[in-house]
Amino acid sequence: MLERASVVGGGMPAGRRTVKAVPFVELAGGRVQGVVSSGSDVERVYVSFIASGGDYYCCTNNNRPCGGLGGGPCKHIREMVDEAVVQCGAARVAEYLGIAEAQGLDDGRAILGALRGDERKESPGEVFSRFLGYLRYCELQARPGTVLEMGWFAS
């Protein structure tokens, strides 16, 4: 019941993200994009995206393509979509990627299976700067005290 409601419950993400495997994921600019840790090399980090319609790419931040891109999205992209599902819910991720019939698509594998796209080489710079922009929230300062405006945002 939303009638005359100032506070609506259940607005927050359903699941709890773990940032170790996928430090960053977002739905922006018509894509699910993010930063994914390498499973084998602790030193390595990948920048990945999958766009509405299915085009995808994954590379290191030196713009070296991911070795797993063999004619289809690699496991980094799948892990990233899995995290997007935790963060936003499967229905929203599928809808955002332009999948018309999203029923039953509840994880990265199923969502990627419903998309047919091509590899589209792109520089990782934009996603990386979005990640840095996201990390700004760790540095921002607020003055101590009750922020009354948060009264609209029950957790």
Please report, as ranges, the residues that interact with other proteins according to CB under 8 A: 1-13, 16-20, 23-24, 28-30, 35, 37, 43-45, 47, 59-64, 87-88, 92, 128, 131-138, 140-155
Of 90, 93, 91, 76, the residue nearest 32 (C-alpha): 93
- Nearest-Å Rg of the Cα atoms of the chain is 17
Please state the length of the chain. 155
Least Å from the CB of residue 155 to other proteins: 4
Residues sharing a CB contact under 8 Å with residue 120, sequence separation 6 or more, in sequence order: 51, 55, 56, 57
Least Å from the CB of residue 87 to other proteins: 7
Q: Residue 59: which H helix or E strand, with range?
A: strand 56-60
Least Å from the CB of residue 1 to other proteins: 7
- Closer to other proteins by CB, 71 or 132: give it: 132
- Closer to other proteins by CB, 64 or 109: give it: 64
Least Å from the CB of residue 104 to other proteins: 20
What's the DSSP call for residue 60? E
